[in-house]
Amino acid sequence: MPLLLMLCIHTRAQDSTRQIPNGTDGLILTVPDSEMVAGKYKGLKPNEFGGNFSTCTLGLGFIYDFAAYAQDQAFRQQMDTAGFSLGPTFKVRDFRVLVSGVLKTKRPISWKFAYMYDGNLNTWLVRETGVTVGVPELKGDIFIGRTKEGFSMVKVMNGHSPWTNERQMALDPIPILADGIKYFGYLPKSGIFWNLGAYTDWISKTQAFSTFHWQYDARVGWMRYLNKENNELLHIAVNLRYGKPADGKFVIKSRPESNPTPQILNTGNFATDHSSHLGYEIYYNRGSLLIGSEAMVHSFYSDTARNHRFFGGDVMIGWLFNHGRRPYRTAGSLFGFVQVPRSVFAGGWGQWEAVVHLSTFNLNDQDIQGGQFWRITPMVNWYMSKVMRFELIYGYGIFDRYDMKGKVQFFETRIQFTVM
């Protein structure tokens, strides 16, 4: 990490500079020649640096949560049986530092490094880190390093950008990261896109996310702009995955889409030699409206024990006020960060988003009774600026486990800072 920071400082210092008028407040700016185009300043964000060999962007992210609960008697008994006690909780979700850049080479090559404090594990971890090489002759890009596998749009999206505070429960069997190589691309004329990956644990065996010896992923779909000016589009994809769980066993644990809440869904360890995962994703966006759904089936197979299958899915609807937009990125085939026309720090209202999310995950199958959880979540996102987001979250859940159906209400808030 210190070496990367030195690179950022060094590359900026290498540039010859010139002074130009700001144009907005009459101040004089000193800018590098590499950021001048036809004698005009392109403009650098405060966290961007230019250099002779590579650009460099410094970023950070911070998430802080609060959760409180209203539980009925059956849910309290379920928590007692599982060994948990729920009460008001303040918790750091994560804090991360990011460094990225684009090499000034003929072939597009970019790099990134991320280091994160995980509030659940109380430790620092290397997150998405690696190199992306553009291969226009293959209509795409190749990434080598540590990254998200490529199963599910929401799982691939930056963790600070989705519409809900947490990803749906049914995605929890898929590791958040993996070490390997992936090839992704998009064909504008046909609208076909793909994300193909192969990963192994030879570097990450000691990491908590490394629950498979190896895995292969394929995300293939189609996206068409129905009206580009109004940001109207339809996105459809299929997700496929095949893997070998580590040490011939696996356990699925899941929080009910609330980070301060324990992993109350739990299969316990079960024997398995290999697994397959199948899912779909479909999203429709028109102006400020976004409607989407993802569902998946996780199948685990064993030569010496029973096979098991678990399923889950979700549906969501979101609305951005003030004619807001959530841009779609064809590089990666996913939605990006919400645009904020005028922040509260510049006299505006920022951007507001209303979301309703319904989801379920079933970990009951034959001799495994890990529980099933249903949750409906109406919530409001207030994007105070491009950097700051505040969330008000209500959740109502039904938990089916231990021959009881308990009911619980979630009252949550989240404050999030993101500099990219």
Q: Which domains does the chain possess?
A: 1-52 (no CATH), 54-419 (2.40.160.10)
Token readout for 111 is 């790099």
**Using 50, 70 and 90 to split pLDDT, how confident is the model at 197?**
very high
pTM above threshold 0.85: yes
Mean per-residue pLDDT, 327-337 = 95
pLDDT of residue 326: 94
**409 or 31: which carries more pLDDT confidence?**
409
Which one, of 330, 329, 309, 315, lies nearest residue 377 by Cα? 315
**% of the chain beyond a pLDDT of 90:** 83
**Using 50, 70 and 90 to split pLDDT, how confident is the model at 322?**
confident
Encode pLDDT of 5-64 as tens digits.
555 555 444 444 433 333 333 333 334 444 444 333 355 678 888 778 888 999 999 999
Give yes or no for residue 233 having a pLDDT over 70.
Answer: yes
Mean per-residue pLDDT, 229-243 = 97
pLDDT of residue 284: 98
Neighbours of 235 (CB within 10 A): 21
pLDDT of residue 46: 81
Q: Mean pLDDT in the chain?
A: 90
Mean per-residue pLDDT, 223-230 = 95
pLDDT of residue 9: 53
Distance CA 343, CA 8 (A): 28
Mean per-residue pLDDT, 384-409 = 97
HEC letters along the chain: CHHHHHHHHHHHHHCCEEEEECCCCCCEEEEEHHHEECCEECCCCCCEECCCCECEEEEEEEEEEEEEEEECHHHHHHHHHHCCCCCCEEEEEEEEEEEEEEECCCCCEEEEEEEEEECCCCEEEECCEEEEEEEHHHCEEEEEEEECCCCCHHHHCCCCCCCCCCCCHHHCCCCCCEEEEEEEEECCCCCEEEEEEEEECCCCCCCCCCCEEEEEEEEEEEEEEEEHHHCEEEEEEEEEEEEEEHHHEECCEECCCCCCCCCCEECCCEECCEEEEEEEEEEEEECCEEEEEEEEEEEEECCCCCCEEEEEEEEEEEEECCCCCCCEECCCCEECCCCCCCCHHHCCCCEEEEEEEEEEEEEEECCEEEEEEEEEEEEEEEECCCCEEEEEEEEEEEEEECCEEEEEEEEEEEEEEEEC
**Using 50, 70 and 90 to split pLDDT, how confident is the model at 2?**
low
Encode pLDDT of 77-128 as tens digits.
999 999 999 999 999 999 999 999 999 899 999 999 999 999 888 899 999 9
Residue 312 C-alpha from the chain's centroid: 18
Residue 139 C-alpha from the chain's centroid: 24
pLDDT of residue 48: 84
**122 or 197: which carries more pLDDT confidence?**
197
Mean per-residue pLDDT, 169-187 = 97
pLDDT of residue 8: 55
Mean per-residue pLDDT, 390-400 = 98
Q: Which amino acid is at 378?
A: P
The answer to whether 369 and 354 are in contact (CB under 8 A) is: no
Distance CA 409, CA 406 (A): 10
- In sequence order, the 6+-apart residues with CB closer than 8 A to the CB of 221 are 192, 193, 194, 235, 236, 237, 238, 281, 333
Encode pLDDT of 271-307 as tens digits.
999 999 999 999 999 999 999 999 999 999 999 999 9
